[in-house]
Amino acid sequence: MGIPFNKPYLTGKETHYIYEAVSSGKISGNGMFTKKCQQFFEERYGFRKTLLTTSCTDALEMAALLLGIQAGDEVIMPSYTFVSTSNAFVLRGAKIVFADSYSNNPNIDPVQIEKLITNKTKAIVVVHYAGIACDMEAVMALSKKHNIYVVEDAAQAIDSYHQGQPLGSIGHLAAFSFHETKNIIAGEGGLLAINDERFVERAEIIWEKGTNRAAFFRGEVDKYGWVDVGSSFLPSEVVAAFLYAQLENLEAIQAQRKHIWEYYNRAFQAITDKVQLPTLPNYATNNGHLYYLVCNDLDTRTALIQHLRAQNIHAVFHYLSLHKSPYYQDKYDGQALPNCDHFSNCLVRLPLFFELTDAQLEKISQAVLDFFGE
């Protein structure tokens, strides 16, 4: 039996809570478990308002709607990210302006952001890659200076911090993912965090298909109707019930994932002259989302992945730079982004999931060390 890249972890309470949700007779969205999950995030991380969504992609699409993104607007984001980060704003007609990463870190470089700001720039979208914070102090300074909104794509960043402040609580809006590859899962699922009071009321309307239905059920209006654009962004109570079981076990899940991350990081100190390890800036924390190595070139990465596969260890690369993707390459009119391209060609992710044992970690680590001749 090989070692997979990912294996979803179940706490044991998921099916119990799903049964509870189904038995309640209320299994469409915005029921008891949805409220429990939202309350968890608001209380633990201090988000002004949260709304569960069917995916992080949907949370990003809601953010684009809330910011009033339209044709002619420019949105700056990293090229080294998942397609959803870009798609949410492309759907609204925005021009995507891609910025490069740091040379030693896949996160967006604020120095590169500033060079790209024009009078058409409406938003900056940062992606906290591997759950490690972007330089939010620098990004928010740019936001204030140029009066530009900031959206945190915190898909990978649950329970991670920037100078003691939870990721997702710093920008105007933030989006989280509960896809089965994330720390806390619901199969599919996401969350929109709203930190700016101006967006709270409208967010709920967009979330409820453009109606003021939620206000109606709270008794705030005597009837509800179509008052804005929107869509069906709510997950069912079955998804929320599953998620709540995970959230109850957040601390145990996080402790184990960080243990795995730190095990890898110790093991690979011996090969820092041959491969680049993750860098943790002094303002950031590690949330144990993923562990990666950056090889010197594409051939080395390909050979490393094949070497691990031969021992039934499933390691994978990550994003293709979006500015070079089949959809966007003929639309891209910007500068070369060498750091993004380097991570696209050279970064490899190692298995990291809750039930990974120390014996398996030893096998994976040794296989990597053997490859590099250690």
Which residue in 136, 178, 370, 338 sits closest to 274, CA to CA?
A: 370
Which phi and psi (to 5°) does residue 12 adopt? 110, -20
One-letter amino acid of 240: A
Following DSSP, what letter does each residue of 154-199 receive, concatenated?
-TT-TT-EETTEETTSSSSEEEEE--TTSSS--SS-EEEEE-SGGG
Q: How far apart are CA 67 and CA 104, in angstroms?
A: 32
> What pLDDT, on the 0 to 100 scale, is given for residue 155?
98
The ranges assigned to domains in the chain are 14-248, 250-371
CATH top-level class of 14-248: alpha beta
pLDDT along the chain (374 residues), means of 10: 96 98 95 98 98 98 98 98 98 97 97 98 98 98 98 98 98 98 98 98 95 83 87 97 98 98 98 97 98 98 98 96 94 94 98 98 98 91
Give the pLDDT score at 300: 98
pLDDT reported for residue 30: 94
pLDDT value of residue 14: 98
Residue 222 pLDDT: 80
| pTM of structure | 0.97
Quote the pLDDT of residue 1. 77
Residue among 97, 55, 109 nearest 72 (CA): 97
For residue 101, which phi and psi values (nearest 5 degrees)?
-85, 170
With a CB cutoff of 8 Å and minimum separation 6, the contacts of 154 are: 128, 160, 167, 168, 174, 175, 176, 193
What is the CATH architecture assignment of 250-371? Alpha-Beta Complex (3.90)
Strand ranges (E), the chain: 49-53, 74-78, 95-99, 121-127, 149-153, 161-162, 165-166, 173-177, 190-194, 291-294, 347-350
Bridge partners (DSSP) listed for residue 75:
96, 123
Check residue 106 and give its pLDDT.
98
Pairing of strands 173-177, 165-166: unpaired
d(CA 320, CA 366): 28
